[in-house]
Chains A and B, each alone.
Chain A
Amino acid sequence: MNPPGPLGVLEEKEEEHLSTPILGPSIHSDNPQERIQARRLRIAARLEARRREALGEYLDGKKESEEDQRKSYKQKEESRLKLAKLLLCGTELVTNIQVATDIREIHRRVEEEEIKRQRLEKLENEVKTSQDKFDEITAKWEVGKQKRIPQDLWDMLNTQQVHCAGLIEDKNKLISELQQELKIKDDQYVKDLKKQSDDICLLLERMEEQVKHVMKTFRQELNYIEKAFEIERQELLTSNKKKWERALQAHNAKELEYLMNRIKKAEDYEKQLNRQRMWDWEEYNMIKIKLEQDVQVLEQQLQQMKATYQLNQEKLEYNFQVLKKRDEESTVIKSQQKRKINRLHDTLNNLRSKYAKQIKQFQEENQSLTSDYKRLVMQFKELQKAMRHFALIDDKQFREIWLMNEEEAKDLISRAFDVDRIIHTHHLGLPWTAPDFWFLRNVGPISQQPQKSATQIVEEVLMQAEEEGTEEAASEAESYLDLPRQISPKTTRKILMLLCDESGFLVESKLLSLLLPLEKNECYLLRLDAIFSALGIESEDDLYKLVNFFLKYRVYHSPSSQEQTSLLSALEPGEQPDLEGQKEESLVEGEPEEKEAPPSPRLIHPNDVLKILEAFVMGLKKPRDSRAPVKLKYVRDNSKDSAYWEALTTVIPDTTQNLWDALYTALEKYHLILTQRAKLLIENNSLEQQNTELQMLLQKYLDSKINSELQVPPTQVFRVPTK
């Protein structure tokens, strides 16, 4: 498959060769302009041809072009093959001579070798034989030396001579043979030379022939190819010409059409142009007028601007002057400021030194103050001491005042009672009985009475336990009404006993030995005392706490006594309810029996006691530490005082007071009446006296002379009362 490329190019070339001479401007012309033109034409023609070729290819379709190609291509292929074959054959023909020479040479070599070998053999044989002969001769020389008889010697010499002659003859024969061979070789050399020249002649002949032949065939083939191309070109030309004519006709028709269109359009455009021109003229005028106006306005504005410019210039000059002055001022100020800064620096330094001094001073002051503080602390301690002292004194004074007041109150009460008794007996006539109240018997401040130490309580508890059988209710009602609120003294006692038994290690061994002879209760008491002192239980509350703790611990931990790890956690809530417990207590006070049933010390295992104690001590320590200073001074409870005093005021019950009030009112009324009566009596007396006086006065008036002088004597207007 040969592409259309080469075909086109070849065509071009042909066309080019054809066209260049016709067109006039030639590349080989002397005039450079002409040459340039020619080249340009050539390039244009080439481009045209390429374009045409491309177009033609597209238009013709493939089959036609292929066929066309095939004609030239086939021709080319054919001639190519033919020429290749020719060349091959020719070279073979020529090289055949070389090959023939080669093979001849090889044959010659083989023969030569053979001959050489034979010659060598021959020479060797010759050498051997001649050597033998020579040896024989030399051997005979030895024999000859021994011969004494001249005859013999002569004979022998003769024979020797003959032998030598024979030897030399042999050698000469060999030499002549070899020379013969050499001559033959020379002849052969001449022959070879001749042969070679013949060969060379033949070679030249063949080569020339070959060249001629090849030239001829090449020319022929070239002609064929050219013819093929010519035919093809003719065909292409005719077809293209047809196409061209057709295209030209179409082009002409179109051209005409375009011309008509163009004329029409030109007319249109002329009309439009005229219209446009008119319009533009008008517009131009309008714009001109407008622009002139604008120019005037702008000139005016320019004038204005100039004026303002002048004004501004003056202003600016003035400003400039002002600013200059200000600048001067500012330089003055600057220098002042600098001076000021210097001064301030000085002051700063002064202040710094002052500050250092002050620091020193304050340190000293601080020292003095600390010493003061120490002194004050000392003073405060002394003051505390004094305060304690005064507290004691205050207590005493309080007690004394209390006693005094109480005495006074009791005096008053007794007076009241006396008055009451008098009222009852004298006024009402009723029998009077003296009321009997607990507070009447009370002497001294109330709160001091219930404060007891733990040991005392224990003692009491123990004592109580002894008397338990006899006076159970009485004791409970009396002194222990408020102590172990929900815990019966029995349980308390049992817990304490248990504690006493289990924590013997807290008691000193010395004490134990001392306790041995004592009674059981006393023994317990002393031991508990020792234990409490060891545990740090001092007050009554602590004891209750301990007991409560025991009970609560049992409640929380009875099911699993093994859980000792959570003791502390159990304690924390155990502490809190201490305060809350009171509320609960107040709520549950109604039925204490219910609580009494479960707490039985039997259920507390003796082994747990130690753990409970440990937990308790751990829990107790904390509050202790914080409350320690506060608890030192026990603040007196004032709550009951008012009640006490209130009670003292209400010794006389309301009924009697009401009675008294009623009696008072009645007596008041009675008294009023009596006083009214007394008043009225006094009034009566006075009126009587007045009456008498007035009567006397009247008399006097009537008796006077004036009456008679009057026209109407008063005596006539009224009637003188007559008595």
Chain B
Amino acid sequence: MKVKVLCRNPDYYLRETKRDIYKVPRNYEPSLHPFEGLREYTRALNAVKLERVFAKPFVGNLDGHQDGVSCFGKHPQRLSLLVSGSYDGEVRLWDLPQQKCVRNFRAHDGFVRGIAFLPDGQQFVTVGDDKTIKMWKTDLPDWGEEEEPTNTYISKSVIMGVSHHQKEPMFATCGELCQVWEEDRNEPIRTFQWGVDSLHDVSFNPIETNLLAACASDRSIILYDTRDIGPIRKVIMTLRSNRLCWNPMEAFIFTCANEDYNLYTFDTRKLKQPLQVHMDHVSAVTAIDYAPTGKEFVSGGYDKSLRIFEHGKSHSRDIYHTKRMQRLTCVLWSMDNKYILCGSDEMNIRMWKARSAEKLGVLRPREKTALNYSEALKRKFGSHPQISRIARHRQVPKHVYHAQKELRTIKLKQKRKEANRRAHSKPGTVPFLSEKKKHIVEEQE
């Protein structure tokens, strides 16, 4: 015989402390919680709407330069420090949290073309239009001490860019030639030349540290092995690449910002065609930087806007712009994957959040799980038309909109024309060319 007794264990329904959340005994019986798909869909819709509501990526503006900002230096250890060079040869060091300039000095006559930190972060190298390479201390000079470079190297040729080796005391410069310098020698230890064209960007591979890539003005990208061989491979594209950046997590992947409004991600081992063509910019792309996770990169260009691309995707995830921002010359993704900095022609450096709707600062655990849940929902329902529509909707400057429209019509026209030509010519004479192959002229050994 069964005796029914009321049993109430306070542990089941009482909170342990006053601050604790109310205990809700859950019964996961699906019949008790119907419409899970629909309810989750609604949640996803709300989440994506809220994301758009909270999407305010602009953090701050650093002004102080008297001329356009030309380049950035990324400190390998300190997140709060930024070094920027400008067209008038001035170098400024910024304290990012305070959004203040902590130090400024005139480093070069003419443009500062490039800044690179040494691996220990104690010093940085600047190169300028005055054919000099100068090494500076990161710390402020002592009281009464003059702003002087610790070392100055005089080059025989014009220098357009600099990149420091990831570990060894060695840096590469480019210009008429590609030269590798050692910190304590006044002469370049190695000089590479392949063809006669000038190079305007150079970049050391951060993982496979002996590999060096440079963008040349003959529309090519040249790879060098700095150990003994020198140049190893060259790929010529239809238009020149302005800037090149290696993926910090994938040794063989690099992306270049091209003059033809596109960015191209290459596998170093297969240069015949890029892995991915990233196209959303409406003008020449002049700057690119990878996120330290290697999953995303940011690019900026003459269309006065920043775009964030996900690795392996051909369309941008986001576009950042402000009314007063002019052509971008340099971008930088902070080492903690949270911020993006961009320098532009109109003398300002702007700071953005890497994810526009992200809440900065410390998150409480429940907040964090809630955010994770909404993220997961967005991912889950990402292919639903309403959700993707809301998630992808952006307001852009008029000029970008118009340019895009124009580009679209141009592309359509080209497509139509090609189709017509194909239709009216002997079959096989007008071959189909994939978008990836279109932009590569040649791979040279």
Partners in one complex: no
A: which residues have CB within 8 A of B?
A: none
